[in-house]
Every structure is written in structure tokens, then in C-alpha cells.
Amino acid sequence: MEALLKSNPGDERTIDQLSQLYERMLANEANPAVQFKLVKLRLKRQELDAAIGLLQQLVTAPEYRRSRQQGFGLCFWQKGMRYLALAEISRAAAGRLRR
């Protein structure tokens, strides 16, 4: 199904089906990889508050730190919170430079 979405990124039906699948998977077991995939689907649909909620839950997953900060930055930018967006994007960039 993910391959189908890659070939047709705006397909609402596929986005719905993947969202439901990911939500069922997360109901059974916490999985940061699945959670981040769900974040990306929420962002595709401009469901910014839902995406922010999922990103907040990823705080305990250090491997998603940079991606989480970039996601927060994107959400804040789209919500018109430019200062917070720039702060998150700067943190993500600073983390990249330290490595």
C-alpha cells in the first residue's frame, strides 16, 4: 500500500487506508517508525494538530529527534507560528552540524 501511495501521492483513499492501518498497529504496540509514518500522512492532509500530537509522543525516540524537530518546524510554520518554526528548524540543523 505504501508503494501505491508513492506512485500516486494525492490518493485520498490510499491515505485513509494507510492511516487506519497505522492506527490499528499503534493501538496494539508503540512503534516509533509507524508513528512517524502516520505523522507524514497527517501532514499530507494538513491535519497539523494531530501531527503535533504524534510528534510529541516521539520525544522518547531519540532516533527520530531531527525528523521530529523538522516536523514540528513544518507544523508551526503552516500554523503561522514562524518564530517557533524557525527555532525547531534551527535545532534540527544544529544537531546535523554536531555529528
The secondary structure element, H or E, covering residue 98 is helix 82-98
pLDDT in tens, 58-90: 998 999 999 999 999 999 999 999 999 999 888
Give the integer Cα–Cα distance in Å for 97 and 53. Answer: 27
Give the integer Cα–Cα distance in Å for 17 and 74. Answer: 24
Write down the pTM of the prediction.
0.82
C-alpha R_g of the chain: 14
Q: Look at residue 40 in the predicted model and tell me its pLDDT.
A: 94
CB 32 within 8 A of CB 63: yes
Q: Look at residue 4 in the predicted model and tell me its pLDDT.
A: 57
Domains and CATH numbers, the chain: 2-98 (1.25.40)
User: Is 38's pLDDT higher than 80?
Assistant: yes
